[in-house]
Every structure is written in C-alpha cells, then in structure tokens.
Amino acid sequence: MSEAGIRDRTKEGFQELVLAELPALYSLARRLVRDGAEDLVQEALLQAFRAFGTLREDGAAGRWLKTILVNVFRDQVRKRSRTVDERPMGDLSDFSLYRTLVDEDPFPYSDSLHTDFLQVFDSEDLREVLIRLPDIYRIPLVLRYMDGFATKEIARLLEAPLGTILARLHRGRRLFERELWAYAEEAGLLTKERAR
C-alpha cells in the first residue's frame, strides 16, 4: 500500500490494503473454520474498516488484519460455547510419527520417510486434518507454523500465558501427527502399491 493510502484513511485506501491482503486472510480463515471462511473474512473486514484509523504503519497491515480475523473467530467460538473444546485425545506420549513410519514402513524403498510421507498429501488433505483438531490446538498451530506469528505474539493475541501456548503447540503437533496418520490410513494413502 502506498504511503498516501495509509495516511489518508479513505475508503479507497482501505480497499487497496484489503486487496493486497485478501488471499492471505482467506487462506487463514479456511484453516480456522471448515465452512464459513467467507463470512469470517467479511466480518473481520467490517471490523477492520471501523478500526482503520488505528493502523499505524503500512508494513504491519497484514498482521493487523490477521489479528482482527483471529479475534473475530475467537468471539464466534465464545458465542457458540462457553466451554473449551477439550475432546479426549488419548495418550499422545505414545504416538510418534517417525516411529510409526519406521514401524509401518509404508515406503519400503526410501531413505527419507518423513519427506515421502508428507508428499502423499495435498493442501486440501492437510486442511482436512487441521480442521479435525480442537480449536485450542488448531489456532496456535495455524498462527505459528502457517502464518509465522511468534509464540509471544500468539500468547498476547489469544490472551493466554506463554507457557500455555507452548504446551498447546507441543500437544497440537503431537495430535496433528496422530490425525495425519489416521487420515492417511482412512484415505488409502499408505498402500504398498503407492510406495512402489
């Protein structure tokens, strides 16, 4: 966005800003919700337009919009339920994607199990696995590993202690690995024929 657009908080300046950031916003929204990504983005943009005067520097526009989008998402989750979605995950300490790959050996002719395993997935597969995770794990994972937020930023954004965010990231990674393996089995992505 040009300096003139950031200085004069006009409708056109906002549109210019949004057009540059819209693909990233929509991508983030699709990773946060199964359906309704468009509605989530629309509500976030409405709130962003109302608060357009608070944006201080044009380089921060993408983070500013993503923060608003995550806050809108959190508000929607809170309205749906006042309880945290902590579905039982079972014992995650038992599961290791690497050990499972070595034990199951779905790619018997490969030296790079992780790489070969991940190559069988496309972005829709990964999105489907992410959507399976409870919000308290999915949101920090998406913000950290897909949108590049620092853990301190995530803690501030989600209004949670840093230690809590670190624990959720750790548990979320373990749960993601377990769900990824289950999804691969369900989708038939681990057949011996595919490995050859």
pLDDT digit string (tens) for the chain, length 196 residues:
444 444 456 778 888 888 989 999 999 999 888 788 999 999 999 999 988 888 876 668 888 999 999 999 988 877 765 544 454 555 555 555 555 544 555 444 444 455 666 677 787 888 888 889 998 999 999 888 888 889 999 999 888 999 999 999 999 988 988 898 889 888 887 764 444 3
Cα three-residue angle 150-98-161, rounded to 5 degrees: 25
In contact, 122 and 110? CB cutoff 8 Å: no
In the numeric block, which tokens belong to residue 165? 């965010």
Q: Which domains does the chain have, with CATH numbers?
A: 3-80 (1.10.1740.10), 92-195 (1.10.10.10)
Q: What is the pLDDT of residue 47?
A: 93
Cα three-residue angle 82-88-89, rounded to 5 degrees: 125
End-to-end distance of the chain based on CA atoms, in angstroms? Answer: 49
Contacts of 93 by beta carbon, 8 Å cutoff, 6+ apart: 174
Q: What is the pLDDT of residue 155?
A: 92
Q: What is the pLDDT of residue 115?
A: 60
Q: What is the pLDDT of residue 107?
A: 45
